[in-house]
Structure 1
Amino acid sequence: MRVGLFVTCLIDMMRPEIGFSTLKLLEEAGYDVIVPPAQTCCGQPAYNSGERALARDLAEKALREFEQFDYVVVPSGSCGGMIRVHFGDLFRDDPELMTRYGKLRERVYELTDFLVNIARVTLAEGEFRGPVTYHDSCSGLRELGVKAQPRELLAQRGVQVQEMKDCEHCCGFGGTFAVKYGAISTAIADEKCMNVQASGASTVVLGDLGCVLNIEGRLRRTGDHSTRVLHIAQVLAGDI
């Protein structure tokens, strides 16, 4: 089957290695993976900022580029949530777009959800050794129901997870929230970083690059240069 990989603009621009790890996992699961070369943003920053016209243009573009595939896989809960949950709000006044989107929507999956519930992979034990702690990114958890899936995959790889306090709490990023409410964002990030450190794990793993950059950036700014912050695709693919 043909999988369209929605790389996300953040991964493409800042951590392309996560995209390659995702590609590796999907190909090893037996899928023909296509990365549409003209793909750009899912429109989430514009949508969250009230720029509905721009967000809709980007959503229509994504729909055109990805509706041809059997599945669409996104290594990001926030972008996956935008496509699977919020595109409907942007298309609600256009029956033709809503019909096309309705056919696509149920084929859009966050990476770990796809690997567990569609590909039904069984991963061999890897070389990575924990312990790690896991941060549940807000959109993946609350919009897409991603909770058990990454932990199941880590267990298959033989990675021990030591749960941190309040693992489901926000890291403080929230896209434009971090720009508009910097002081509040920083306080939330500080609490998250303290919980990561208190877990006793040397690595925090998560499924959204925005959270990776926010947590890693705050750890480094506060003097922690040893705690690793990794996207789950990197750990599962053994690319670390």
Structure 2
Amino acid sequence: MRLNRAPYNEAQLYITLTPWSQSGSHERLYGDEDHDCSAAKPATGSTVTHATPTKEKEEPGMPFWEIYTPEDAFTDEDKEALTQGITSIYYDLVDLPKFYVVVVFHEMPRNSIYVGGEAANNFIRIRLDHIARKTVDYIEHHTHKKTMVNGIALGSLTSEQIRADFHEKVEEVLVPFVKERGYDWEIHVDETPEDLWRVQGLVPPPGWSEFEELWRKENRPVPYY
């Protein structure tokens, strides 16, 4: 059985940060409830493969967050609230399974982080790896679905507009934990090639497919091939 993904790419996305309201009032700017599964129908064949990268863009995708902080910067309650906000970005806005979102906190002892050759004991450094969701996939998906939000055709948005909106969501999540507490901070995002990614030995299903929706519903990887 062969499953083909939409074309994907490798890139880097650099963003500044700030946290996010979980009031539930935010519009779904990235995803919709009606998933199109037509692109994920299996065809004849014997292997699961991904398409060769064809475009160069920067975009949000599968998230692995590493957060380097001073010791005792966050309580356990802070960490839970922060990770719930981070997870909401990907689950609510780009329809990823919650278990795709992994956040690791590294509490650094005093004089363990240096910036410009000087100890930075009030500094938080955040790095992200993104894999699953690509701008080109997002645009093609919503162009096909003709998705409209607040009178805007989501398929007509540029990659720059999508990235800017992603910046805002990340900033909303981080502000109460970082900026409002007086910390300095920096963040960057790396894009990892999708064909180097496995979850419990499985090739993750194509974006917005019936199989990815199953993983999202079950909140765990389910064998599908």
Which structure has the larger Rg over C-alpha atoms?
A: 2
- Greater RCO structure (CA 8 Å; 6+ sep): 2
- TM-score w.r.t. the length of structure 1 is 0.25
Flag the structure with higher helix content.
1
- TM-score w.r.t. the length of structure 2 is 0.27
Flag the structure with higher strand content.
2
